[in-house]
Amino acid sequence: MTSLAMITGGLLMAVGFWGLLTRRNLIRMILCLALAETGLQVVMIAAGYVRRGTAPILDEAGRAAARFVDPVPQALVLTAIVIGVAVNALLLALVVRLYESRGSLDVEDHTELRW
């Protein structure tokens, strides 16, 4: 299970990076960035997986009813998801503004910062 999730996450990240490097439409690039983020989150969760572990929810007495997965990566991924949403929303807003001022979504048309 761990390796399956790891490979899925790694593939998602690879697809996302490939898209970031090859696509020229800004909205597709943002989607690819979101894809890479998702892949990274899957990899992080898989890194905290414990064989036959369950979600880290204790019973009332504070005993671990079963073997738990590592809670630390889950807490980190929760933060990562929220930051990812914030970044994507801001990027989309910037692209909307850019499209309004230039009328183009092609990254090759915006060459001022090129070097």
Partner 1 sequence: MIKRVAILGVLALFIALLLGRVAVPAPRSGPGPTGSAYIERSIPELGAQNVVTAIVVTWRGLDTLGEVSVLFLAAAGVALLLRTLGGGRGGNGPPRRDSSEILKTGADVVTPAIVYFGVYVFMGGHLTPGGGFQGGAVIASAVLLLLLAFPSYRLRHGILTAVESLSGAAYVAVGLAGLVLAAGFLDTRVLPLGIPGRIVSAGAIPLIYTLIGLKVGTELAAVIENLGGRR
Min separation Cβ 105 and partner 1, Å: 15
Residues 55-114 that bind partner 1 (CB under 8 A): 55-62, 64, 67-72, 74-75, 78-79, 81-83, 85-87, 89-90, 92-94, 96-97, 100
Min separation Cβ 113 and partner 1, Å: 18
Per-position x/- string for 16-55, each x denoting binding to partner 1 as judged by CB under 8 A, each - no binding: -xx--xx--------------------x--xxxxxx-x-x
Closest CA to 88 of 35, 41, 13: 35
13-to-3, 36, 40, 102 alpha-carbon distances in Å: 15, 4, 6, 31
Quote the crossing angle between the two packed helices 26-47 and 71-102, to the nearest 10°. Answer: 180
Eight-state DSSP code of residue 49: -
Query: By C-beta, is 79 or 111 nearer to partner 1?
Result: 79
Backbone conformation region of residue 52, classed left if phi is above 0, alpha if psi is from -120 to 50, else beta: left
Eight-state DSSP code of residue 67: P
Binding site for partner 1 (CB under 8 A): 2-3, 6-7, 10, 13-14, 17-18, 21-22, 43, 46-51, 53, 55-62, 64, 67-72, 74-75, 78-79, 81-83, 85-87, 89-90, 92-94, 96-97, 100
